[in-house]
A and B are shown apart, each in its own frame.
Chain A
Amino acid sequence: MRYNERELLSLARQPAEKAAEIRMSVPKKGSVLKKRLVKLVVNFLFYFRTDEAEPIGALLLEHCRITKEEENVFSISFIEEPERKYCFECASEQQCQEWVEALKRASYEFLRRSLIFYRNEIQKMTGKDPLEQYGISEETRFQLGTHQQ
């Protein structure tokens, strides 16, 4: 599958929502934890060797599961391959919890559900559709009932 790597690399250089040096392993046989610079930008998680400017890799964070594992550790896996886990060992339990929180909210799908939720609540409270002002109230993606997960 082709993709615009150049733009993805550019995205990796943008200010991150969250960035830290975390030990990480990939779901490959014999893979060990290695210190990486891990950077969250929109719905992508980039990981770099700590002294390099270009990321080794990127993970799209849609349809993924963020799981708190043992102490200081969380993992990311994808719904179609739940056993293949990217593991992250944080410096502290607090850092671990913060990352789990942030990553759970880092998908476009999550934002979409939030938007539908708020829209519905506001509509019930005020009788007005808050999306009208943005001119996006008719778009299918924001309708209640089209995104039952």
Chain B
Amino acid sequence: MKLNERSVAHYATCDSPADHTGFLRKRVERHHHHAHHYGTSYQRRWFVLKGNLLFYFEERESREPVGLVVLEGCTVELCEAAEEFAFAIRFDDAGARAYVLVADGQATMEAWVKALSRASFDYMRLVVKELEKQLEEACKSLAACRKSPRRSSSSGRKRHLSNPALLPLQEKPAILENGYSTWGIGGSVPGGDHDGGQAKPPPLPPRRRSATGSATGSSAPGLSPAMLQSPVSPDTVCFSKLHDWYGQEIVALRREWQERQKRG
């Protein structure tokens, strides 16, 4: 079976941060057809965990991985090898070999076992779904709080509000007036007084008006009141939809920029 190995190797060595790295000794598997016994030599390798992929290199500075273990569906357990601080990556498949790895101490072994146990895509997906649900619930209860008299809802409450598009549609009128995106780190929202649910959206804070912006990474793209009508479904708090929605803004900005470039 073919694999896009060049791209995979590139992913292994590129800048994107690794989830865990370190030297481990990897047991060399030698199978003898007449006897079910393994050779007991180990090779020291530099291991890099990215997502559900465990790469290993001959040296830390090596430009290409020697190998890859796709971790999806594996279990990680401590093992009774002759070596101390040994653990194994195993797969369900009956005939599958195990990867026996040896750390240099208790702490590093535990850190690796912890990292590898949680490395699967499925696990991440579960956590994200759970957080998505929690955010939705937090939005709902926040909206419910806002319905009650100002005194009780605003005292001590942080004025950092999520994008109004994330909140249930029926709450929209009350939200729009405080409708600021807090995309990006430390995106703080100016409080501002609001008078009931009928006021139209207050003007956006100065830094977000600039469309030439610093729309890189996680900073906030410019928002106009019209864009507060997001296509995000009122029932779901969905990062990917929000991501796409902001993406449209970026696409428009990029097109604008390219046209400007053409005009020279």
Contact = CB atoms under 8 A, between A and B. Distances in A.
Contact of A57 (B1, B52, B161, B185): B1
A118 B7 contact: no
Contact of B70 (A8, A14, A120, A147): A8
A5 interface: yes
Contact of A78 (B3, B10, B161): B10
Interface string A98-115: 000100110011111111
B96 A145 contact: no
B14 interface: yes
A78 B11 CA distance: 10
A121 interface: yes
A114 B239 contact: yes
Contacts of A114: 128, 132, 239-240, 243
B66 A4 contact: no
B73 A125 contact: no
A11 B70 contact: yes
Interface string A111-145: 11111011111101111001100101001110011
A4 B54 CA distance: 11
Interface in B127-176: 127-128, 130-132, 134-135, 138-139, 142, 158, 160-162, 166
Given A59-B4, A118-B135, A131-B127, 11 more contacts: A14-B73, A42-B72, A58-B3, A59-B7, A63-B14, A80-B6, A101-B240, A101-B244, A108-B50, A115-B131, A127-B158
8 contacts: A1-B65, A11-B73, A59-B7, A60-B11, A105-B240, A111-B128, A125-B139, A146-B17
Interface of A: 1-12, 14, 42-43, 54-60, 62-64, 78-81, 101, 104-105, 108-115, 117-122, 124-127, 130-131, 134, 136, 139-141, 144-149
